[in-house]
Structure 1
Amino acid sequence: MAELITLARPYAKAAFERAKAQQALAEWAEVLNAAGQVAADEATRQLLTDPGLAEQKKAEVILECTGQSVSEEQRNFLMILADNRRLALLPEIATLFNSFRAELERTIDINVSSAFELTDAQQQQLAQALSKKLDRNVRIDATLDKSLIGGLVVRTGDLVIDASVRGKLTKLAESLGS
């Protein structure tokens, strides 16, 4: 995995710099995310390893499957990836591009798992509190997890805040066991 990220980084950086210069970060992110999803599909992965199919044709297939209208520069970017036999890196390129964009825009995506559905007001209050703590604009993706019993678990990157009843019970069991 680390090797793929290392290979993908220069391509992602080049795409990011070009998108930033064009002031088209959202459009590039949309195209790269769609192409990354297509390239991550198992059937597409098999297609990308087919030695009988020309690399340019593989890029064309990915472009067709995305259903996106792409600019000439975005098309050229995918063709360069094809020429260098790097189309399989599209999921990693999209991930890196999105992290470069988030860093520039000072945003962060946070996954919040809760035992009960959060209202819009609760999500907004949580986003404001996390914004202050993390010094970033926060976008929340809320999911329901009844196994938490109560409370919530906040995840972003390597940061995990477990304020769930299940988490507290686990800590209590561990402390009683030691």
Structure 2
Amino acid sequence: MKGSLISTAIAEPYAQALMSVALSHDLADAFGEECRSLVTLLEKSPDLEAFIASPVIKEIDKKTVLGKIMGEGTNLYLLNFLMLLIDKRRIIFLEKICRQYLTLLRKLTNTVLAEVTSAHKLSSEQSESIANKIEELTGAQGVEIKTRIDPNLIGGITIKVGSQVFDASLRGQLRRVSLSLGGIA
């Protein structure tokens, strides 16, 4: 159900409400950082995701755990929003809401999301160079890079921005050569 239309229909109004609160208090970027952290945490911890999604676990326990995870420095508006999600039994959609919020934030700041896949870990200079090139190609004011390592690329990188894919990988080049020679990739 995570990727379904129903979860999107539920997540979108909550993300818009969070954006509205963030904008009215000049906290859009701060909430964006918190949302990125939450998404990363939920991706890396299936146990946490199962915990907050479980209908068996009491709401007070979920509130306590989320409060400790967020820490004392968390903005009160954001913390109250998370508690509201628990009260309304919508906490199961937390990751989707955070992703939707980040999409809204990128639109607001004219930032694009670039999914970069490389054979090896990129250095900070390489990431910066890629970001500059993507800004140049897209006309965006900023680039948010999400990296992934895929040793099957052999070398080089692939970059996905929206529906566009730029394949500068060795595997892609070998596939193109094979096709031009009449072989099957």
TM category, shorter: 0.7 to 0.9
Q: Does 1:151 align with 2:152?
A: no
Q: Which amino acid aligns with 1:161?
A: F
Provide the TM-score with structure 2 as the length reference: 0.77
What does 1:46-65 correspond to in 2, within 5 Å?
A: 46-51=51-56, 53=58, 55-65=59-69
Contact 2:116 2:147 in 1 (8 A): yes
Partner of 2:183: 177
Taking structure 1 as reference, are residues 126 and 73 closer, same or farther at Cα in structure 2, changes over 3 Å only? closer
Partner of 2:168: 163
2:74 partner SS? coil
Taking structure 1 as reference, are residues 151 and 90 closer, same or farther at Cα in structure 2, changes over 3 Å only? same
Contact 2:52 2:62 in 1 (8 A): yes
Following TM superposition, by how much is the alpha carbon of 1:52 offset from its aligned partner in structure 2, in angstroms?
5.4
Taking structure 1 as reference, are residues 50 and 39 closer, same or farther at Cα in structure 2, changes over 3 Å only? farther
Taking structure 1 as reference, are residues 125 and 62 closer, same or farther at Cα in structure 2, changes over 3 Å only? closer
Separation of aligned partners in 1, 2:114 and 2:107? 14
Structure 1 window deviating more from structure 2 (76-85 vs 59-68): it is 59-68
Q: CA RMSD in A?
A: 2.8
Following TM superposition, by how much is the alpha carbon of 1:91 offset from its aligned partner in structure 2, in angstroms?
0.5
Separation of aligned partners in 1, 2:41 and 2:124? 32
Residue segments in structure 1 that go unaligned for 5+ positions in a row: none
Number of matched pairs = 177
Structure 1 window deviating more from structure 2 (119-128 vs 161-170): it is 119-128
Following TM superposition, by how much is the alpha carbon of 1:102 offset from its aligned partner in structure 2, in angstroms?
0.9
Q: Which amino acid aligns with 1:156?
A: V
Residue segments in structure 2 that go unaligned for 5+ positions in a row: none
Taking structure 1 as reference, are residues 153 and 104 closer, same or farther at Cα in structure 2, changes over 3 Å only? same
Partner of 1:102: 106
What does 1:16-95 correspond to in 2, within 5 Å?
A: 16-37=19-40, 41-44=45-48, 45-51=50-56, 53=58, 55-67=59-71, 69-95=73-99
Instruction: Output one character per residue of 1:134-170: Cα deviation in whole Å (capped at 9) or x when no partner.
Output: 1112244556655434432112343211122210211
Q: Which amino acid aligns with 1:77?
A: F
Taking structure 1 as reference, are residues 177 and 37 closer, same or farther at Cα in structure 2, changes over 3 Å only? closer
Following TM superposition, by how much is the alpha carbon of 1:105 offset from its aligned partner in structure 2, in angstroms?
0.7
Structure 1 window deviating more from structure 2 (30-39 vs 166-175): it is 30-39
Contact 1:37 1:91 in 2 (8 A): no
Identity percentage over the alignment? 26
Separation of aligned partners in 2, 1:119 and 1:28? 27
